[in-house]
């Protein structure tokens, strides 16, 4: 019993990787089993559909107002802003205005730094 079975690092690596993947697959099946028998999951209730009654004509759908876009902003910049906001889960109807923020902090910081000697 004093001698190792193998000293070849490739065989040891393959054995270790096989064990890791078998454990990962077993955990995957265990997680799926837990999802199937989860007592805290909300059960879907079947709702009986009522017979449809013809409704009176409804008012036209209200659309969101177009956002106010200042002149001088390139269309590519506006498209990027809309895409970034949509990436956060908002719709274009939630954008009210696109306008640049004028901030001269950087200009003033240089002046204050050199003038305070």
- Between 85 and 12, the higher pLDDT residue: 12
Q: Given pLDDT bands bounded at 50, 70 and 90, which one contains residue 28?
A: very high
Structure tokens at 32: 């799926």
Residue 29 has pLDDT above 90, yes or no: yes
Task: Determine the pLDDT at residue 38.
Answer: 83
Alpha-carbon span 44 to 42, nearest angstrom: 6
Predicted model pTM: 0.34
* Angstrom distances, CA of residue 16 to CA of 13, 19, 76: 5, 5, 52
Q: Given pLDDT bands bounded at 50, 70 and 90, which one contains residue 41?
A: confident
The count of residues in the chain is 117
R_g over Cα of the chain: 32
Mean pLDDT along residues 59-66: 60
């Amino acid at each position: 019993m004093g001698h190792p079975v193998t000293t070849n690092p490739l065989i040891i690596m393959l054995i270790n990787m096989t064990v890791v993947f078998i454990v990962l697959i077993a955990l995957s099946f265990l997680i799926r089993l837990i999802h199937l028998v989860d007592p805290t999951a909300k059960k879907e209730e079947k709702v009986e559909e009522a017979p449809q009654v013809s409704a009176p004509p409804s008012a036209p759908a209200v659309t969101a107002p177009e956002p106010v876009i200042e002149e001088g902003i390139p269309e590519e910049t506006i498209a990027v802003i809309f895409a970034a906001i949509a990436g956060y889960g908002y719709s274009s109807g939630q954008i009210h205005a696109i306008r640049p923020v004028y901030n001269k902090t950087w200009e003033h910081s240089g002046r204050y730094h050199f003038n305070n000697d």
